[in-house]
Amino acid sequence: MDNADLLKELRIERHQRDDHDGGGGRWPWIVGAIVVVLLLLGGAGWMLLGHRAVAVQTAVAVTPSSGSEAGAVLQATGYVTARRQATVSAQITGTLTAVLIEEGDHVSKDQVLARLDDSAYKAALDTAKAQAAAAHALVAQYQAQLAQNLRDAARQQSLAAQGLVSKQAAEQAVTLADSARAILVSQQKQAASADAQVIGAQVNFDYCVVRAPFTGVITTKDAQVGEIISPFSAGGGFTRTGVGTIVDMDSLEVDVDVNEAYIGRVKPGMPAEAVLDAYPDWKIAAHVIAIVPAADRGKATIKVRVALEQKDTRIVPDMGVRVSFLEVKPQASAQAPQGVLVPATAIVQRAGHDVVFVVEGAQVHQRTVNPAAQAYGELRLLPTAVKSGDSVVVAPPAALHDGSDVQMKNP
């Protein structure tokens, strides 16, 4: 029965007034009914007000870090880059017969990445080798002929000295030997040329095998078996210019853009800390390699190269990074305190205990805590009871209790 129905019950009809006009008992009944209605209205109001959501402001509990950003003179954002990466291609045009790589593969220097159809180059190499062999056979023939001509010339000269043959015959024998020597030298040059052609054919044949120029990781695979690959770009998009891209993970560093108004705070060799966007709780020791002596006119920034002092497989090219440039290098032995940091105003007293209210869904749950004695500015360390990422109520109102409904309000 709602309030309107109750009011209707209190209405006194004319015939009722006539019936009770002579008696005095109707007024106590009316007063009692009014009291009941007031009690019902008060109870309904109490129920509505008691379940109304409390507007609160929250903060996220964070994990303390070993490094201190208090000594940071500047912060800048950038990306992980590789100083050594290459799109590997063949030095000749050919059809791929094998592609031996996939994205993410680790390859070593000179490892075979792909093979091209080598039938034509194999035939050219065999032809060059045969021609070289023939040239060397002629060299051997001319060497034997020269040796014979030299012996004949020596005999003719001996006989001419004895008067047994004419001097002209001896001279002709010497001329014949000299001609044989010249022919031999020419053939030796031709044999050397044939050898050079063999080397050239061998180089072209070796180009049919695509090898890794350095040790690294394959980041892209750009061609498939059956496609034509060429070191030159061709129209129409039917010719690939690369088999894949290889990145030397040991050459990873960070490039950040520093506003030119603050570049004076950055010095080569300056210590720094890098935090990857993908791993916000992981601080990587770093230092400044160099300040690139060129400004970006459009962004009014200067590029700074930062070296990462820790190598890890989680670091990959093109990751977003935030770099803090430090006055002094943080101590490596420093360890992060255990627990989470919350605003000091989130800790209140309830029944003589320090408590915080953690938001879970649309309700809060009270948790008893024992804050650490050491303060971190406006934050307090809670060793237990609260986890990193929990939302805690800042400055909880006195009416807030365990299980209260809450709604977020703008700070």
* Residues 6 or more apart whose Cβ sits within 8 Å of residue 75: 322, 323, 324, 325
Instruction: Return the H-helix or E-strand segment holding 56.
Output: strand 54-60
Nearest in space to 218 (alpha carbons), one of 241, 243, 253, 247: 247
Residues whose CB is less than 8 angstroms from the CB of residue 242 and which lie 6 or more positions away in sequence, other chains included: 87, 88, 89, 222, 223, 229
Say what the pLDDT of residue 234 is. 53
Confidence of residue 201 (pLDDT cuts 50, 70, 90): very high
Residue 74 confidence class, pLDDT cut points 50, 70, 90? confident
Name the band, by pLDDT with cuts 50, 70 and 90, for residue 7.
very low
Lowest mean pLDDT among 7-21, 171-185, 276-290: 7-21
Tell me: pLDDT of 322 over 70: yes
Calculate the average pLDDT of the chain.
84
> How distant is the alpha carbon of residue 291 from its chain centre?
22
> Which pLDDT score, from 0 to 100, does residue 384 have?
87
* Amino acid letter, 17: R
Mean pLDDT in residue range 301-329: 90
Q: What is the pLDDT of residue 330?
A: 65
Question: What is the structure's pLDDT at 359?
Answer: 92
**Looking at the predicted structure, is the pLDDT value of residue 334 above 60?**
no
Q: What is the mean pLDDT of residues 118-141?
A: 95
pLDDT of amino acid 233: 63
- Dihedral class, residue 304 (left if φ above 0, else alpha if ψ from -120 to 50, else beta): beta
DSSP 209-261: EEE-SSSEEEEEE---TT-EE-SS--GGG-EES-SEEEE-GGGEEEEEEEETT
| pLDDT for the residue numbered 140 | 95
DSSP 277: T
Query: What mean pLDDT do residues 216-227 have?
Result: 92
Residues 39-58 have a mean pLDDT of 62
- pLDDT, tens digit (0-9, with 9 covering 90-100), for 238-263: 678 889 999 999 999 999 999 999 99
User: How much is the pLDDT for 41?
Assistant: 58
pLDDT at 25 over 80: no
Average pLDDT in the 166-177 region? 91
Q: What is the pLDDT of residue 20?
A: 46
Q: What pLDDT score was predicted for residue 335?
A: 59
Q: How many residues does the chain have?
A: 411
Quick one: pLDDT at residue 285? Answer: 92
Question: Beta strand pairing status for 72-82 and 353-360?
Answer: unpaired
Task: Tell me which of 73 and 392 has the higher pLDDT.
Answer: 392
Q: Inform me whether the pLDDT recorded for 286 exceeds 80.
A: yes
Predicted pLDDT at 6: 46
Contact 340, 62 (CB under 8 A): yes
Could you tell me which of 299, 297, 265 has the C-alpha nearest to residue 75?
265
Q: How confident is the model at residue 53 (pLDDT cuts 50, 70, 90)?
A: confident
> What does the pLDDT average to over 174-182?
93
Contact predicate 3/33, CB 8 Å: no
Cα(271)–Cα(288) distance, integer angstroms:
7
User: Is the pLDDT score of 378 beyond 80?
Assistant: no
Task: Compute the distance between CA of residue 31 and CA of residue 24 in angstroms, rounded to an integer.
Answer: 13
Q: What is the mean pLDDT of residues 171-195?
A: 93
In angstroms, how far apart are the furthest CA atoms of the chain? 191
For residue 63, pLDDT beyond 70: yes
Where do we find the tokens 């088999």? 243
The β-bridge relationship of strands 353-360 and 348-350 is antiparallel
Tokens linked to 230: 């060429």
For the chain, state the CA radius of gyration: 47
Residue 22 has a pLDDT of 46
With a cut of 80, say whether residue 48 has pLDDT above it.
no
SS3 label, residue 47: helix
Q: Taken in order 318, 319, 325, 326, is the CA torsion positive or negative?
A: negative
Q: How far apart are CA 120 and CA 117, in angstroms?
A: 8
Share of the chain above pLDDT 70, in %: 81
Q: Is the CB of residue 395 less than 8 Å from the CB of residue 57? A: yes
Q: What is the pLDDT of residue 17?
A: 47
